[in-house]
Structure formats: C-alpha cells, structure tokens
Amino acid sequence: MKFILKTLVAVILAAPFSAMAVSSMEERIDKTINILEQYGKAQGDSIPREVFQEAKGLVVMWIIKAGFIVAGEGGDGLVVMREGKKWSHPSAISAAGAGVGFQAGGSSQDYVLLLNTDEAVKQFTQKGNYTSSAEVEGTAGPVGRELSAGVATVNADVYTYSFTKGLFGGVSLSGLGYGSADDTNENFYGQKLTPKEIISGKGIKTPEAVKRLWKVLEELDKKPRITGKTPSQDVKGSKKTSN
C-alpha cells in the first residue's frame, strides 16, 4: 500500500505542473492585486505590517483540491522579490501535491507566503520542478495589528497565511511541490527567461500589469504600522481579567 501511495505522489509531482493551472500572468497579477488591496484595508486580525514590510519576497498562490479517495492538489501563483526599496518583476509558479482522504468535489484556497530569508528566496526562484526543502516549509505566520513586545519579527524562513473573504490567518502549508511556469512567463514577457533572469529585470520590458502590481506593493510598504491591540486580543484580555 505504501508503495502505491508513494508512486501516486511521485506521478503527480513528476507530471507537468500546468496540468491543473490555467491562469495567464495577467490573471495572476490581477488576483494578487485584489488580495493585496484587501490586505491594505485590513484593520483587525491580519498580517502585521512589520512582518510584511521586512519580508524579502512574496508568493501569492491559489490551490485547488480535487479528487476522491486520492486527493490531488494543484494551483497557480506568482513570486516577486524585494530589491532594496523596490520590487522585482513577477515570475509565475505552479504547485502540485497529493494526499489521501475521502473527499469528493473540489475546493480552492488562496495563500500568501512571506519569504524571510535568502534560502527561501533561492528556493522559490528555481527553474523547473522541485519540492520545497524542510528549511522552507511554510510556518503559520503571526497575526495581529502588531507583534507582542519581545517577540522577534521573524523566526521562520517562510510565513504562510490563508486568505478568505478579506481575512488573513496563519496556517501551516507543507507537502507541496513547486515549479516555474515557464510557458506563462514566456507568453507574458515575450521571451524565454529563467526565474532568476526575470527577478533581475535586466533587459526585460515592463508590461503595464507589472507597473500596477508595483504600485500596490509600494503603497503597502509606505503604510504606517497599525498600533494597539486587535479586537481579538482585547477580548482575550478581558476574559483573563474576569477570571
């Protein structure tokens, strides 16, 4: 049985990552902008501003889960890196994985990954298909208006958040394989480029969609950090006081 399961996982990860991915780069950018704009409006429980503003890279992706008994996962996304005070051109990525469970039908979930270290950045700018290393497995990121006093801003290579109806929640995300969506990148930029070449931006024309993405990212970097406790923290505090 174990051999069969391992074989099924290997088949899914070895298959083209685009099998379950259909988004063009323009669609990926539009979806990313929508998620980031909603993050910019968030005032309560959300990704702390200091965590976002200190991240070295950003991955936004949406995973589709579908299947019965053997559940497959696949999705689209993009990765963009911070270059000093500016952001890089986005590079398209795809994701795939496999699990076992009795689920029928399908569901979709949006995720935001903050890359906090050089190792994480390197991992998500590789060419071809790869499996994320143990060092950069997604760790549930902190949530709130600000980090508690004495808590380090970063204690993991990658912080992972799920995004649902305007709310961001820290969530652990592991077991996925990733791959550079080379065809998507080529169609968008008009030339064959590796993820590293795209991130460097040298000799690449900048489509208007990228400029729109940069504008949103730059606005988020300029936003002041939200002070004070989140509503949920206040509620927890009041409960503790009453006991």
pLDDT in tens, 89-112: 999 998 876 443 334 445 678 889
Non-local CB neighbours of 207 within 8 Å, separated by 6+ positions: 188, 189
Q: What is the pLDDT of residue 14?
A: 41
State which amino acid sits at residue 231. Answer: P
What range defines the domain where residue 77 resides?
2-242
Tell me the pLDDT tens digit for each residue of 223-233.
Answer: 876 665 544 44
pLDDT of amino acid 242:
37
Give me the pLDDT at residue 102, please.
36
Tokens 């990212």 map to which residue?
Answer: 217
Six-digit token pair at 3? 């051999």
- The series of mean pLDDT values per 10 residues for the chain, 243 residues long, is 42 42 86 93 80 93 64 79 93 72 56 91 82 64 64 74 79 77 95 94 93 96 69 40 37
Contacts of 180 by beta carbon, 8 Å cutoff, 6+ apart:
91, 92, 93, 94, 126, 127, 128, 194, 195
- pLDDT of amino acid 42: 77
Give the phi and the psi of residue 43 in degrees, each rounded to 5. -120, -20
- What pLDDT does 105 receive? 47
Averaged confidence pLDDT in the chain: 75
For residue 57, the Cα-to-chain-centroid distance in whole angstroms is 9
CA angle at 229 for the pair 225 and 235, rounded to the nearest 5°: 155
Q: What is the pLDDT of residue 131?
A: 64
Tell me the pTM: 0.77
* Count of the separate structural domains present in the chain: 1
